């Protein structure tokens, strides 16, 4: 067998060093963070479920993200650029101004009885006060838990009950392009439904929708902050143990009960600070635009903490990739604010491509300072990546990570010397990640062989040490399927160059007449058709073959051809590219695909509809009508029935 040629740049050397001597590697990386008490060692293998990082160290996340930059003379630099096309407003907040706002709000929280280890839930839209709230919690050692603004009341109630917050920070409303979403009635209903009752709620009143306050419990945010400022109240940073939790972030659980992913403080800051120059090639003083939401892990890591940790300016965007006002929205933000790096989800890119298939909106903007587009959140289909490369004339980097890991598992480390891009692949493992592909018996498989992607323990800094209040559930969910490994529940392959291709969740691998096939591979074929904007493939129960694939496609906005003709072409295309073994015979054109607010396609719900199984409306979907359309499309072909 011919050995793969060496990869260019410094990546191979850096990754090998991180696995050969993790103690030395991560102690070196820890030098990029300010410590109140420096750690004497990087890792304690005897602590926790698989070990804990920087066990003797003490530090404060808010100090590292804000105060140290002011002390270093960067107080006049913009820390946050709030750009809100849905309200027609923009705001520039310097590091010095951010320090003042955070210290004052932290004093308000302290006056409400919040201290180290107490939990605070944030139920906020994409406004600067949300970031101020997160940092204020970190400043005094409180544990924040952000719940996506506008989440259904019962879902918010579950999180209130699990986290037991002393205080809730909320806004009166969120603002969408076509509607105002009143948050306060949802919050009131959630508190009424929860057995745990927070002692206080601080409500940010937005002009579009003022909220009524509950006497004795609710306080007006602006009035409380103004009173604290008038009294000269400011809270200082409280040094915390590196192993203390910084936040809890809830992710979906298979039992229906959300899993509270715990993020520790020290390892998280070290990993994020390493990633900014080395993976994203972004440096102090530059502008970084992560077009996510603070309700998701991407927002926590790369809207809030990572950019501020290294002294960047972070763009906080309250808008959509299309419709605010058009498919050029992101390019307008990039040009206007001098963005060096944009990080968004593949679903946003596909929405832009659908509305502007020729990329005409890009030409109207000066993107001279824009260097790189990063994608993550779900699989980036090769056709969309190639479209973006042609349209932008910039590297387009797909990378992969999870809520649980907190920062990328795999990516193309541009700062170490960009590696060749392989469309469809998320490139190579980041430092500390010893990634393997395992068969069902837990044995490593060879190159280009599909299996479950697992990470050999210990997980690197930044990854979850446990689940909130449930070490046993953590072990059961992630560590028991393959002893000695963290089970990602993602399926994929590693090729001879060490590149990882994620093919989908392990429950997206379908069994067609004894053949294990990836729905992600079929989606890549469908997405390559010139008329397809986005697509999803699910496995439908079949009495003969066990499962049979079914593809749903959304056509580009300018397509005027007969959908039936396109569907026939798609069936032939899959047969040609993958072969008759795929048994792909059904492609359906639809107007939209059902998605969570984070952009993930609800393949599981679509499958339950197709398989005649009971289903409920997921709490993270904005529009139930799109699921009704999926059901109608299936029933028109004699598949599925109402849920």
pLDDT digits (tens, 9 = 90+) for 14-36: 999 999 999 999 999 999 999 99
Instruction: Give the residue extent of every domain in the chain.
Output: 13-319+399-493, 513-636
pLDDT at residue 255 greater than cutoff 90: no
Q: What is the pTM of this model?
A: 0.85
Give me the pLDDT at residue 71, please. Answer: 98
pLDDT at residue 459 greater than cutoff 50: yes
Strand ranges across the sheet with 259-264:
218-220, 200-204, 167-171, 119-124, 143-148, 245-251, 259-264
Nearest to 154 by CA among 202, 191, 125, 197: 191
Arithmetic mean of pLDDT, 542-562: 87
Tens-digit pLDDT profile for residues 510-524: 767 656 677 877 888
DSSP string, 1-24: -PPPPPPSSSHHHHHHHHHH-HHH
**Where does the pLDDT of residue 631 fall: very low under 50, low under 70, confident under 90, or very high at 90 and above?**
confident
pLDDT at residue 272 greater than cutoff 70: yes
Give me the pLDDT at residue 133, please. Answer: 98
Cα→Cα distances 464→22, 156, 246, 250, Å: 18, 22, 11, 12
Helix (H, G, I), strand (E, B) or coil at 639: coil
What's the CA angle centered on 377, arms 333 and 539, to 5 degrees?
A: 135
Contact 303, 316 (CB under 8 A): yes
pLDDT at residue 622 greater than cutoff 70: no
CATH code for the structural domain at 13-319+399-493 = 3.40.50.12780
DSSP string, 262-326: EEEHHHHHHHHHHHHHHTS---TT-EEEE-S-TTSHHHIIIIIIHHHHTTPEEEEE-S-SSSSSS
Backbone angles phi, psi at 348, to 5 degrees: -70, -40
Tens-digit pLDDT profile for residues 288-319: 999 999 999 999 999 999 999 999 999 999 99
Helix (H, G, I), strand (E, B) or coil at 372: strand
Looking at domain 513-636, which CATH architecture does it have? 2-Layer Sandwich (3.30)
In this predicted structure, which of 365-379, 475-489, 580-594 has the lowest mean pLDDT? 580-594
Give me the pLDDT at residue 1, please. Answer: 43
**Where does the pLDDT of residue 641 fall: very low under 50, low under 70, confident under 90, or very high at 90 and above?**
low
pLDDT at residue 40 greater than cutoff 50: yes
Give me the pLDDT at residue 516, please. Answer: 61
Tens-digit pLDDT profile for residues 408-438: 999 999 999 999 999 999 999 999 999 999 9
Give me the pLDDT at residue 127, please. Answer: 98
Give me the pLDDT at residue 643, please. Answer: 45
Backbone φ/ψ region at 127: left (φ over 0), alpha (ψ -120 to 50), beta: beta
Cα→Cα distances 121→130, 249, 297, Å: 11, 10, 15
Counting residues of the chain whose pLDDT is more than 90, the rounded percentage is 76
What is Dmax (Cα atoms) for the chain? 75
Tokens of 480: 């028991």
Kindly tell me the burial class for residue 390, based on how many C-beta atoms sit within 10 Å of its own C-beta (0-12, 13-18, 19 or more).
exposed
Average pLDDT, the chain: 92
Please tell me the distance from the alpha carbon of residue 150 to that of residue 162, in angstroms, as a whole number: 19
DSSP state of 558: T
Tokens of 142: 């409180």
């Amino acid at each position: 067998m011919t050995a793969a040629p060496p990869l260019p740049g410094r990546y191979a050397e850096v990754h090998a060093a991180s696995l050969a001597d993790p103690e030395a590697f991560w102690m070196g990386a820890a030098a990029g963070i300010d410590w109140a008490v420096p750690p004497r060692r990087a890792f304690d293998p005897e602590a926790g479920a698989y070990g804990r990082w920087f066990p003797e160290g003490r530090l404060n996340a808010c100090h590292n993200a804000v105060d140290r930059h002011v002390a270093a003379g960067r107080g006049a630099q913009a820390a946050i650029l709030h750009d809100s096309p849905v309200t027609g407003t923009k705001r520039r907040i310097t590091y010095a101004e951010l320090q003042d706002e955070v210290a004052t709000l932290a004093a308000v929280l302290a006056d409400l009885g919040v201290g180290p280890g107490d939990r605070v839930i944030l139920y906020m839209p994409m406004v600067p006060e949300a970031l101020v709230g997160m940092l204020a919690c970190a400043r005094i050692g409180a544990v924040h838990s952000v719940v996506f603004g506008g989440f259904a009341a019962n879902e918010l109630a579950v999180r209130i009950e699990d986290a037991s917050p002393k205080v809730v920070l909320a806004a009166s409303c969120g603002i969408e392009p076509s509607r105002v979403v009143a948050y306060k009635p949802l919050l009131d209903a959630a508190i009424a439904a929860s057995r745990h009752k927070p002692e206080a709620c601080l409500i940010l009143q937005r002009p579009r929708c003022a909220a009524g306050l509950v006497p004795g419990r609710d306080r007006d945010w602006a009035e409380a902050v103004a009173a604290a400022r008038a009294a000269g109240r400011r809270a200082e940073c409280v040094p915390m143990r590196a192993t203390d939790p910084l936040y809890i972030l809830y992710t979906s659980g298979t039992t229906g009960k959300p899993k509270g992913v715990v993020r520790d403080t020290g390892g998280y800051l070290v990993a994020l600070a390493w990633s900014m120059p080395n993976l994203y090639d972004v440096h102090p003083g530059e502008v970084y635009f992560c077009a996510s939401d603070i309700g998701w892990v991407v927002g926590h890591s790369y809207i809030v903490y990572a950019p501020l940790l290294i002294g960047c300016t972070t763009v906080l965007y309250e808008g959509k990739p299309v419709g605010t006002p058009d498919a050029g929205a992101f390019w307008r933000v990039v040009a206007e604010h001098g963005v060096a790096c944009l990080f968004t989800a593949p679903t946003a890119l596909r929405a832009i491509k659908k509305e502007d298939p020729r990329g005409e909106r890009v030409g109207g903007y000066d993107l001279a300072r824009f260097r790189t587009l990063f994608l993550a959140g779900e699989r980036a289909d090769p056709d969309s990546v190639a479209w973006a490369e042609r349209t932008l004339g910039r590297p387009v980097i797909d990378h992969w990570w999870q809520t649980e890991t907190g920062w990328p598992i795999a990516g193309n480390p541009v700062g170490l010397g960009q590696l060749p891009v392989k469309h469809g692949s998320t490139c190579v493992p980041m430092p500390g990640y010893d990634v393997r592909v395992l068969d069902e018996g837990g044995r490593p498989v060879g190159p280009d062989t599909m299996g479950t992607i697992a990470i050999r323990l210990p997980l690197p800094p930044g990854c979850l040490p446990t689940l909130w209040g449930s070490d046993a559930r953590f072990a059961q969910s992630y560590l028991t399927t393959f002893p000695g490994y963290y089970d990602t529940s993602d399926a994929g392959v590693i090729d001879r160059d060490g590149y990882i291709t994620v093919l989908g969740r392990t429950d997206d691998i379908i069994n067609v007449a004894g053949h294990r096939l990836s729905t992600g591979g079929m989606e890549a074929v469908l997405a390559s058709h010139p008329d397809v904007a986005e697509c999803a493939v699910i496995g439908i129960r079949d009495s003969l073959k066990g499962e049979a694939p079914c593809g749903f496609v959304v056509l580009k906005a300018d397509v005027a051809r007969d959908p039936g003709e396109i569907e026939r072409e798609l069936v032939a295309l899959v047969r040609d590219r993958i072969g008759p073994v795929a048994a792909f015979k059904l492609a359906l054109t639809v107007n939209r695909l059902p998605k969570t607010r984070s952009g993930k396609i609800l393949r599981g719900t679509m499958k339950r509809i197709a398989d005649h199984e009971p289903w409920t409306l997921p709490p993270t979907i904005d529009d139930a009508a799109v699921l009704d359309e999926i059901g109608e499309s299936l029933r028109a072909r004699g598949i599925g029935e109402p849920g």
